[in-house]
Amino acid sequence: MHQAALLRQALKDSHKYGWQIEDNVQHNWEIMRKSIQDYIGSLNWNYRVSLMENDVEYENGFGEFVEAHKIKSTNPRGRVKYFTAETFLIATGERPRYPGIPGDKEYCITSDDLFSLPYCPGKTLVVGASYVALECAGFLAGLGLDVSVMVRSILLRGFDQEIADKIGEHMEDHGVNFIKNCVPTKIEQIEAGEPGRLKVTSQATDGSETVEEYNTVLLAIGRDACTRKIGLDIPGVKINEKTGKIPVNDKEQTNVPYIYGIGDVLEDKLELTPVAIQAGCLLARRLYGGSNVKCDYVNVPTTVFTPLEYGSCGLSEEKAIAKYGAENVEVYHSYFWPLEWTVPARDNNKCYAKVICHIKDNERVVGFHVLSPNAGEITQGFAVAMKCGLSKEQLDSTIGIHPVCAEIFTTLTVTKRSGGNVLQGGC
């Protein structure tokens, strides 16, 4: 869906490159949805085949502990099976959270629903400020829909806040309406349909109340760990009572030695699929392959697929300062203008690069951040360098590839401390 939105922007840009495309090009939601669902279906099938080829028994059922070393599995038809094991792995993930207001479950959708939604959502209110909220709002707006985002406090909590603010500004510049310091209090249906019409009552932090109509309300206020109904109290696994998350040690081991946890259910760990995959592979090797390699939860590359993509690895500026002290942190930064954006003459000084260095450790790069097209492709390579102990000197001594976005990281000279100008006049 993000790619679908990028293609609309590419159609606009194409005029300046000589392509004569009619301005009234229309988007067909159903074709996009079917293509996406067909692809997801093929992935699911391939995973099941892979399990069989590797002699893994797949049991489609709801699992819950009934004894210390025994679980019950109930399949969709109600058939019950029991399994015993020496070792257990909890990897149940999370499900979208609802705010607990009138009309939320009756009339709202979540990101889980959006990707299979059988109709175009129309005028949409996205509630939340997480990467899920901003990604969904971004591609819906990119498809040409009227989109508002209702934010209770800050954007992208846990990410670098300077970057988060720049993402919000870019989205506003491209038509997304932000309703800040506000929460919904009631959702009412005015008219059923696909989409229908909903009346949303919301309240600002100053106590004022507003009412607005939308076709669709998408809730993206976070996700809850699926740990409360699987009988973890029977073997005695401790969970955070507030969040449902499971505390583990650096080997992903719970307080019950033979029970481990992986992925989004873990407390204070990144909620990213590749992190869960890596941690799971390393755990299997430690348990059964003689390895002692643990998962690195710090130098994790990730990308937020907002209209202007945000790639990051390592520490945010806030966390670096908290860890090392402001006097021991040097931040090199610059704006830049992708060559492909210069011909259509759009979005100059919106892309941004920042590396955060630990001065006392030979200016080792401890944080990498980029706002750019293809930010994920850029970040993946630099993440490898960071795993190898990348320093600012090594960045400076690397020859850049001209004219690509990643080149900017080989020419960063201005520090935040200096207050020097970082605006760019050309590519």
- Find the helix packing angle between 131-142 and 161-173, rounded to 10°: 20
**CATH number where 397 lies:** 3.30.390.30
Per residue in 294-316, pLDDT tens? Answer: 999 999 999 999 999 999 999 99
Q: Name the pLDDT band for 186 (thresholds 50, 70, 90).
A: very high
Distance between CA atoms of 379 and 388, rounded to whole angstroms?
Answer: 14
Q: Are residues 39 and 140 in the same domain?
A: no
Per residue in 131-170, pLDDT tens? Answer: 999 999 999 999 999 999 999 999 999 999 999 999 999 9
Q: Are residues 194 and 153 in the same domain?
A: yes
For 418, residues 6+ apart whose C-beta sits below 8 A from its C-beta are none
Q: Name the pLDDT band for 217 (thresholds 50, 70, 90).
A: very high
Q: What is the pLDDT of residue 424?
A: 83
**CATH number where 159 lies:** 3.50.50.60
Look at the chain and count its residues: 427
| 295 assigned to some structural domain | no
| 293 assigned to some structural domain | no
Residue 238's Cβ-count burial label (10 Å; 0-12, 13-18, 19+) is middle
Distance between CA atoms of 55 and 75, rounded to whole angstroms?
Answer: 21
Q: Are residues 120 and 199 in the same domain?
A: yes
Q: What is the pLDDT of residue 23?
A: 80
Q: Are residues 309 and 357 in the same domain?
A: yes
Q: Is the pLDDT of residue 279 over 80?
A: yes
Residues 196-207: what's their mean pLDDT? Answer: 97
Q: What is the pLDDT of residue 141?
A: 98
Q: Is the pLDDT of residue 122 over 80?
A: yes
Cα 154–Cα 156–Cα 159 angle in degrees, nearest 5: 115
Q: Which single residue is written with the structure tokens 């300062």?
A: 321
CB 256 within 8 A of CB 236: yes
Question: Beta-carbon neighbour count of residue 122 at 10 Å?
Answer: 17
Q: What is the pLDDT of residue 426?
A: 59
Residue 28 structural domain? 1-51
Is position 402 annotated as part of the catalytic site? yes
Q: Is the pLDDT of residue 427 over 60?
A: no
CB 365 within 8 A of CB 379: no
Distance between CA atoms of 357 and 308, rounded to whole angstroms?
Answer: 24
What percent of the chain has a predicted confidence (pLDDT) above 70?
Answer: 100
Which of 41, 14, 198, 34 shows the shortest CA–CA distance to 116?
Answer: 34
Per residue in 20-61, pLDDT tens? Answer: 998 889 999 999 999 999 999 999 999 999 999 999 999 999
What percent of the chain has a predicted confidence (pLDDT) above 90?
Answer: 98
Q: What is the pLDDT of residue 24?
A: 84
| 420 assigned to some structural domain | no
| 419 assigned to some structural domain | no
| 422 assigned to some structural domain | no
Q: Are residues 177 and 142 in the same domain?
A: yes
Q: What is the pLDDT of residue 157?
A: 94
Per residue in 313-354, pLDDT tens? Answer: 999 999 999 999 999 999 999 999 999 999 999 999 999 999
Q: What is the pLDDT of residue 109?
A: 98
Mean pLDDT score of the chain, rounded to an integer?
96
Residues 254-261: what's their mean pLDDT? Answer: 98
Q: Are residues 64 and 136 in the same domain?
A: no
pTM (2 d.p.) = 0.94
Q: Are residues 143 and 200 in the same domain?
A: yes
Q: Are residues 334 and 389 in the same domain?
A: yes
- Name the strand (E) or helix (H) holding 167: helix 161-173
Distance between CA atoms of 374 and 280, rounded to whole angstroms?
Answer: 28
Domain count across the chain: 4
| 426 assigned to some structural domain | no
Q: Are residues 332 and 367 in the same domain?
A: yes
Q: Are residues 68 and 156 in the same domain?
A: no
Q: What is the pLDDT of residue 144?
A: 96
Which of 30, 212, 209, 6 shows the shortest CA–CA distance to 125?
Answer: 212
Q: Are residues 266 and 352 in the same domain?
A: no
Cα 90–Cα 54–Cα 250 angle in degrees, nearest 5: 35
Q: Active-site residue among 27, 69, 170, 402?
A: 402
Q: Are residues 14 and 72 in the same domain?
A: no
Q: Is the pLDDT of residue 75 over 60?
A: yes
Distance between CA atoms of 396 and 415, rounded to whole angstroms?
Answer: 14
